[in-house]
Structure 1
Amino acid sequence: MASRTTTPPATFRDLPVEEVVGDFRLALISRLLDDREIALQKQSRVFFQISGAGHEALLLGLARELRPGSDWFFPYYRDRALMLGLGVTPEQILLQAVGSADDPASGGRQMPCHWGYRWLNVATQSSPTGSQCLPAVGCAEASRYISRRDLPGCAAAGDELTYVSLGEGATSEGEFWESLNTACTLHLPVLFVVADNGFAISVPSDEQSPAPISELVAGFRGLAVHTLDGRDYFEVRSRARDIVAHIRAGTGPALVHAKVTRPYSHSSADTQSKYRSVEELAEEAAHDPILQLEQVLLAAGILDEAQVAELREDARRTVADAARAALAAPRPDPATITDNVVALPSVAPGADREPDASPDGEVVALGEAIRRTLTECMEADERIRVFGEDVADAREAVLANVEGKGGVFGTTAGLQRRFGIARCYNTPLAEANIVGRAVGQAMRGLRPVGEIQFFDYIWPAMQQIRSEAATVRWRSNGAYTCPLVLRVPIGGYLTGGAIWHSQSGESIFAHIPGLVVVMPSRAADAAGLLRSALECEDPVLYLEHKHLLRQAYTRSPMPGPDFRVPIGKGRVVQPGDDLTIVTWGATVEKSRQAAARLAEDGASVGIVDLRSIRPWDTELVAERVAATSRVMVVHEDTLTGGFGGEVAAWIGEHCFGDLDAPVRRVAALDTHVPYEPALEKTVLPQVEDIAAAAREVLAF
């Protein structure tokens, strides 16, 4: 046994002995949980293992200064000892490892060490490295907002902080840097903990970045940066108190860059002896944090060898008992696997009845219906916050003397002026930042409405949409939800929009379980769907077609506040006897015009506007197919991989006996939308394209 002792016995003068001994016991339990999982994985009773070994001293030292159930936690997979320090039991940890239905973190849905404990404010953890940083910032943002208001279902302590951790490899992710940017700009109470064990799986730190992360972040004004030896429990305890106290005092975020060890391989799928030398691993073993803590306890006379042995035996029994209980716990019922994917809001009977004209006869276009609905809903619910690039009116200093912007399409005009900068505000030009912060706010019970300025630029946010927002309910087995609305202007027919301002691509998002996707084509539906979206407990991608925002044909009476469009329910735009066109978005009107041309030839063509893409109204489509025996699917997105293929396939599978002709699709060419108007017209489906295809189906 190595004899290195880094901290003198005098360290105990400021620390209760029972705390130190208690944390030594938890460190032993944490390491033995690693060992037990590794053994069970070899027996095929655990199916994956990822180790928290080497991080115990850092995490248990920090846990003493943190407040489970008051502070919020966005941990990563090596934070096993932190979970024990916060109050998670060994059995609860092993329930996840064996995949039990009783696993409180996920009910057997997530891999081991993917934490999530609602009663402790431990957010449900995803797996992509670094992606938890932006939701953590959104959570801290929500803390400040909630603490100053009495909001239903939301609670925050005045001095709570948000803890977020990651390995040094994950600091290469852009979302980490975006989170620092916002945390520092807003002076948020966030504790970033970077546990540096020297490797991102097999890639050493010096191949990841030109300098240690504590040096790279030095330019962030307002960020308190601390480096410490995370292997030394006593150094962590002595430093953590002041670090946490400063954050609680409102001085802004802090980053702890802590050196730790990784005595075990990255995971059960890795063998670190393939890329680390025997000498290197031996040197690391000599700095094992549990060994160092034990040596100090012995040198200080707090424990003797017999007491250490007794603690080790107690930890072994505790883990063995927890393993027996976990292995005996029930397995999940396969019939429940689709539970908690999404839960749609209920709509009162008759709430979707066609709106009557308002008393003054006023009708509005689609874009104005969105603006008015946002205003109305924000007036009624203080949990709603609207944010994105350029959505605010203007800087507070000049607001009284300027017209104000309110979004590039004017759909948020006046919201900041009416509700204040805390409820309608601009964000950095960073799409992942917008969505990630919305996720954190939503998990705290707010109703964030983020805006991506153009659908064409949504792709940097894909990780936050797909891996974070859409999976929250499912991966936590219903313990957490993510009620956010992401408004996104989409589509072409702009004359000059070109490749970077004319994309469609709703089919890509329709492929994501847990994400609701809607696209209104007229003002009444825009209002009704937005109200439903704001009542949904799951993320809604609310697609606003740019070409439709001000078109006269989208105008309709502004529906009263009780009007709702049920998510997943389509609308019969017009009935027909000979052919049904299923469509959505900008091609609804083009289909209507095509149907009018066909009516001149004596054909009766009906049109169904799906309105919702995921879920979509299969019942209505089946009803109309049965009535006409011929069907076309028309959409603006490219033909290959477009959502029309899903609709056509479903009809072929479920309505084949009602068909008198093959299902026909009309869509954009499989190319990008060009700038020159004649080229754009060639690429996107036009009225004459729809009419020509319909004639072929009718003639079949």
Structure 2
Amino acid sequence: MAKTETVPDITSLTREQRVGLFRTIYASRRIDDREIMGKRQNKVYFQINGAGHEALQAAAALCLVPGKDWFFLYYRDRALSYALGVSARDMFMGSVGSRLDPATGGRMMPGHWSDHRINIFTTSSPTGTQFLQAVGAAEALLRAEREGLQGRLGMTSDEVVLVTSGDGTVAEGEFWESVNSAVNLQVPLVYLIEDNGYAISVPTEVQYPGANVAALLKGWEAQGLKVIDGVDGCDPVASYEAVREAVAHARARKGPALVRARVVRPYSHSLSDDEQLYKTPAQREDEARRDPLATYPARLLREGLLTPGELEALKAEVDAEVDRAWEEAADAPPPESGTGSRHLYSEEVDPTSAAFDREAHAGDQGTGAKTMIDLINITLKQEMAANPLILAFGEDVADASRPEILDELKGKGGVFKATHGLQRIFGENRVFNSPLAEATIVGRAIGLAARGFKPVVEIQFMDYIWPAMQQIRDELATIRWRSDNHFKAPVVIRVPIGGYLMGGSVYHSQCGESSFTHIPGLRVVYPSRALDAAGLLRTAMRCDDPVLFLEPKHLYRQTHNKGNDPGPDFMIPFGKARTVREGTDLSVITYGSTVYRAVQAARQAEAEGLSVEILDLRTLNPYDWDAIVATVKKTRRVLVAHEDTLQWGYGAELAARIADDLFFELDAPVKRLAAQDTWVAYHPALEDEILPQSTHFLEAYRTLARI
């Protein structure tokens, strides 16, 4: 369907549309039933249904334009997906996990709707994560309009975004975070809450007070949220009128809208559930009486819109369609062997390639040398000037949330000043503050990236990244892979990390990089000097993958790691280590703040006649295995060191692989040096004792040399 197509402005449905609603309802239920049969035949491996929700969804589809509007759905939205254009055949290809599944290539359970052709964004299993992404996708429309980028990003002036969920999911914190941002930003977003009264076995009254999210949000109407409640979601005509009103509100750029409609769930939650264990016979009978599969065709007959013969003919037509689709899918080929790692990362833009290697052209440190924080700031300015799609945001990232006061003030520009001055240059539409909500930052960034922007966001401290962990691990890193390369979200997340702060204590000195390096699909970068920070940050911003860019805050303003501005084209490829110091007796493999401590100890060891080679990894995923092999073969003694805790730290994997793959190249066991397995303390003396120091390195060198 063309992106310029609009929904007809009609106040009532035609006969064809009303009959078409039943066709969608019936087709959706038949697909569910056939999939359930396939599960019992062991041809389908999982099944979750949309039974009872079909009337509301069929009506909603009439109000929206596939290929123009965007959709962030949840697992019960079979009828909505079907009405938007996802065929029974495509659904069944997903059911059997075939490589011909156009949504995921057999990588996701059925019910995880996705179709890039009609803008159904890839759906995941964690409930509620889609809300913030939908806000970001809707936000993208407004930011593109303000910057004149609609044509470049393929947008139109009256698009809207639809996000759906069940009633239980709105108990999630990310739902409330999303409403907060949607209303603050006044984005063209429609929430469709399909309230069937249960989240598996837990009734809605356990989820939140009053068992009615619309009632809780009524007070938000004064702030710009349109709330439509009391909708009978089993009545497709009433549902159509409600959703049409909400969509019209969003299309007119009047802000977000929310529709809550009461539906039923006449089947169990999934085939892994038995609703007879928690629903009484009377409850189940009442749901059966409201089931739109029974009530709506009776209404069509009663109102003379269909004859009994026409109704049976329509059913027969759908039955034949569904049967043909199942026959095609039942014996469809599975995913090809050896493709499990395909599409973890971009296959068009490879940040490990020679095309990203401009390091050889960097000048030496001179009188104009800059600190790491200075070069990060300079690089951000250069890249934002070159690429109008880059957006920078996070907590305290802007110079001021009220730009009119900037004539009187210097401005904030980040708690460490990494983004200082960006807002003055590029404006409040491209550099802006977010709420104090880390999941919001990453979730919105995903939606913005899905629409073509390049978000470079900041999480203020690594210690506070954990509220965003689900958006990072379950969403950001999986999007390309789970959608079989149809969607991507190349977000850059900048995060100050680490200790050595003299007073940082537990909540401002944390590392934890190993929690992220084992996430497939996520690049992890950790520079130790200003020049590397500039080159790697530019690579991250030109990369087509999500990047976690870790900035050791202890090194932000150190003088020993200063570097000259290498210019606007300087890049360092990911997976390329730097030999900091040549040596012959033993090798140190490290990164971040421990690089300098390793060097200090190596200078003292040299006075004792011990030659130490130091390798700075610079990027942790990917890491430079070739450089590791070369240094191990050269010195035959290895120390793996990092600032994070020893047990289950990043170095454990390196030590294990060296011992496994290079055992016969070693003259001594692989040794490790890291922080104590405890929290970083507030008092500087105790912090020094907990974190690895140059004295610890020197003793480790001596011990390793004696073996």
Q: TM-score, normalised by structure 1?
A: 0.97
Corresponding residue for 2:23? Answer: 25
Aligned identity (percent) is 48
Asked if 2 retains the 8 angstrom alpha-carbon contact of 1:151 and 1:382, the reply is no
Corresponding residue for 1:6? Answer: none
**Structure 1 residue 380: Cα displacement:** 0.2
SS at match of 2:22: helix
Residue 49 of structure 1: which of 47, 59, 63 is its match? 47
Corresponding residue for 2:328? Answer: 325
SS at match of 1:377: helix
**Structure 1 residue 56: Cα displacement:** 0.7
**Structure 1 residue 240: Cα displacement:** 2.3
SS at match of 1:591: helix
**Structure 1 residue 13: Cα displacement:** 8.9
SS at match of 1:19: helix
Q: What letter corresponds to residue 238 of structure 1 in structure 2?
A: E
1:104-253 equivalent positions in 2, closer than 5 A: 104-148=102-146, 149-150=148-149, 154-211=153-210, 212-220=212-220, 221-227=223-229, 228-253=231-256
Q: What letter corresponds to residue 135 of structure 1 in structure 2?
A: Q
CA distance 1:153–1:328, change in 2 (3 Å):
farther
1:377 is the counterpart of 2:383: yes
Asked if 2 retains the 8 angstrom alpha-carbon contact of 1:71 and 1:162, the reply is yes
Residue 419 of structure 1: which of 417, 423, 426 is its match? 426
**Structure 1 residue 396: Cα displacement:** 1.1
1:516-527 equivalent positions in 2, closer than 5 A: 516-527=523-534
**Structure 1 residue 179: Cα displacement:** 0.3
Asked if 1 retains the 8 angstrom alpha-carbon contact of 2:60 and 2:239, the reply is yes
Q: Which runs of 4+ in 1 moved over 6 A?
A: none
**Structure 1 residue 348: Cα displacement:** 2.2
1:294-443 equivalent positions in 2, closer than 5 A: 294-343=297-346, 344-345=350-351, 346-348=353-355, 351-353=358-360, 355-357=362-364, 361-394=367-400, 395-443=402-450
Distance in 1 separating the partners of 2:548 and 2:646: 21
Distance in 2 separating the partners of 1:383 and 1:38: 45
Residue 640 of structure 2: which of 614, 619, 633 is its match? 633
Asked if 1 retains the 8 angstrom alpha-carbon contact of 2:493 and 2:549, the reply is yes
Residue 629 of structure 2: which of 606, 615, 622 is its match? 622
SS at match of 2:309: helix
Distance in 2 separating the partners of 1:322 and 1:473: 27
Distance in 2 separating the partners of 1:377 and 1:68: 34
Moved more, 254-263 or 312-321: 312-321
**Structure 1 residue 347: Cα displacement:** 3.9
CA distance 1:620–1:357, change in 2 (3 Å):
closer
Q: Deviations over 1:203-247 (max 9, x none)?
A: 011111111111112232211111111110110122222221111
Corresponding residue for 1:3? Answer: none
Q: What letter corresponds to residue 545 of structure 1 in structure 2?
A: P
Residue 64 of structure 1: which of 35, 45, 62 is its match? 62
1:529 is the counterpart of 2:536: yes
Distance in 1 separating the partners of 2:378 and 2:344: 31
Q: What letter corresponds to residue 382 of structure 2 in structure 1?
A: E
Asked if 2 retains the 8 angstrom alpha-carbon contact of 1:384 and 1:447, the reply is yes
Q: Deviations over 1:607-631 (max 9, x none)?
A: 0000001111111001100000001
Asked if 1 retains the 8 angstrom alpha-carbon contact of 2:246 and 2:258, the reply is no
1:547 is the counterpart of 2:554: yes
Q: Deviations over 1:145-178 (max 9, x none)?
A: 2234237862211111110011110001000000
Q: What letter corresponds to residue 217 of structure 1 in structure 2?
A: L
Corresponding residue for 1:589? Answer: 596
5+ residue gaps, structure 1, are 1-11
Q: What letter corresponds to residue 207 of structure 1 in structure 2?
A: V
Distance in 1 separating the partners of 2:356 and 2:459: 33
Corresponding residue for 2:7? Answer: none
Asked if 1 retains the 8 angstrom alpha-carbon contact of 2:141 and 2:150, the reply is no
**Structure 1 residue 329: Cα displacement:** 2.1
Distance in 2 separating the partners of 1:354 and 1:643: 31
**Structure 1 residue 334: Cα displacement:** 2.1
Q: What letter corresponds to residue 178 of structure 1 in structure 2?
A: E
Moved more, 338-347 or 82-91: 338-347
SS at match of 2:477: helix
Q: What is the alpha-carbon root mean square deviation over aligned residues? A: 1.3
**Structure 1 residue 352: Cα displacement:** 2.0
Distance in 1 separating the partners of 2:81 and 2:700: 61
Asked if 1 retains the 8 angstrom alpha-carbon contact of 2:371 and 2:563, the reply is yes
Distance in 2 separating the partners of 1:209 and 1:219: 16
SS at match of 2:255: coil
Distance in 1 separating the partners of 2:121 and 2:698: 52
Distance in 1 separating the partners of 2:700 and 2:128: 49
Q: What letter corresponds to residue 35 of structure 2 in structure 1?
A: E
Corresponding residue for 1:696? Answer: 703
1:508 is the counterpart of 2:515: yes
